[in-house]
Amino acid sequence: MATIDILYFAWLRERIDEPRERILTSAVSVADLVAELRLRSERHAAAFRDPASVRVALDQRLADFSASLCEVREVAFFPPMTGG
């Protein structure tokens, strides 16, 4: 088990109704963590209903959902970014 700080940005923050939370998790990968988060509440389930519409950063480095959470202290979830 590990304690991880989770940050939510943009519409994820609005759906979950929190900018951040600290959780104790047994998740090994980002995908495992998302599965755990979806079970926390209906708001979490709604936010992560379509994982393809969510991006993730581990300790401020972009990652994908198969990435390991080993020694990760912070996970940030945000929508895809576009440029112009």
- Domain ranges in the chain? 2-78
pTM score, whole prediction: 0.92
User: Which DSSP symbol is given to 43?
Assistant: H
Query: What percentage of the chain exceeds 70 in pLDDT?
Result: 96
pLDDT of 68 reads 98
Question: Are the C-beta atoms of residues 56 and 74 closer than 8 Å to each other?
Answer: no
Fold of 2-78: Ubiquitin-like (UB roll) (3.10.20)
Residue linked to tokens 């940050």: 7
Q: CA 58 to CA 83: how far, in whole Å?
A: 22
Give which of 24, 4, 1 is closest to 72, Cα–Cα: 4
Q: What is the pLDDT of residue 81?
A: 75
Cα(11)–Cα(3) distance, integer angstroms: 24
pLDDT in tens, 51-84: 899 999 999 999 999 999 999 999 999 998 755 5
